[in-house]
Amino acid sequence: MMIAADGECGLIWPGPRVILLTMADEADGQDQATGVGKRVRFVELSSAAMTALLDGSLAQASREAGVALTPYFVTGDALRLWRRRVSQIAADPGSARWVARAVVAEPEGVVVGHAGFHGPPDESGMVEVAYSVDPAYRRRGYARAMLGALLRRAAAEPGVSTVRATISPVNVASLATIAGFGFTEVGEQWDEEDGRELIFEVAVPASPR
């Protein structure tokens, strides 16, 4: 899983491309006395935008996304992610509504990372979160803001019952990020890229009918 640590929000992901949220700047390694809130919006990264990133054209990808993407989107880890997501969407176009969003801080208007799910819910109703904060913007509360929005997104979907996060046991910052969201450790796994990971899950409330 790609998790790099460092409100109220609209809950309809596939509609308008902008989702606003505010979240208190809680335990992510900085002074909690400030009580600063974070406002971000999520912007879809289409297959065209991700293909442009894979082609090395940050400018074209930014035009496709409608926001100025940063060099963080063309790092080795990011390119591996975009390659995987482009193939995923080609095989299952319906997965596009679940994956690959740029995260824009407001009112600054700067892209601070990317977020999404690994894909649609599986047969048991489980989705796994994925989010990554640009190193230049870590330790400012953005990881928790992203996670909070993803949890609310999941709760709005009738087909989702559980949200999963998988984190390396040595990734102290990411472990701190999920604290307070109700996650429970349920096991562990071996990831081919990231090695040993702890598996955390949290049940989501049923969406109102």
- Note the pLDDT tens digit of each residue in 70-93: 999 999 999 999 999 999 999 999
3-class SS of residue 129: strand
Out of 24-28, 98-102, 143-147, least confident range:
24-28
Q: What is the pLDDT of residue 207?
A: 55
Greater pLDDT, 106 or 198: 198
The percentage of the chain sitting over the pLDDT mark of 90, rounded to a whole number, equals: 66
Say if 168 falls within a structural domain: yes
Give domain status of residue 209, yes or no: no
> Which pLDDT score, from 0 to 100, does residue 152 have?
87
Cα of first residue to Cα of last residue in the chain, in angstroms, is 32
In a domain, 91, yes or no: yes
Tally: H helices and E strands in the chain = 5, 9
The answer to whether 154 and 20 are in contact (CB under 8 A) is: no
190 in a structural domain: yes
Q: Is 150 contained in some domain?
A: yes
**Largest pairwise CA distance in the chain:** 47
How far apart CA 80 and CA 83 sit, in angstroms, is 5
State the pLDDT at residue 161: 96
Q: Please indicate, yes or no, if residue 133 is contained in any of the structural domains.
A: yes
Is residue 177 in some structural domain? yes
Round the average pLDDT of the chain to a whole number and report it. 83
Q: Count how many residues are written for the chain.
A: 209
pLDDT digits (tens, 9 = 90+) for 84-135: 999 999 999 999 999 999 999 888 999 999 999 999 999 999 999 999 999 9
Q: For residues 118 and 128, what is the distance between their CA atoms, to the nearest angstrom?
A: 6
Q: What is the CATH number of the domain that holds 21?
A: 3.40.630.30
**Is 208 inside a domain boundary?**
no
Give kind and range of the element (H or E) at residue 149: helix 142-155
Q: Note down the domain range covering 11.
A: 3-203
Question: How many structural domains is the chain composed of?
Answer: 1
Specify the higher pLDDT residue, 29 or 85.
Answer: 85
Percent of the chain's residues with pLDDT above 70: 81
Confidence of residue 28 (pLDDT cuts 50, 70, 90): very low
Global pTM reads: 0.80
Pick the residue with more confidence: 106 or 188?
A: 188
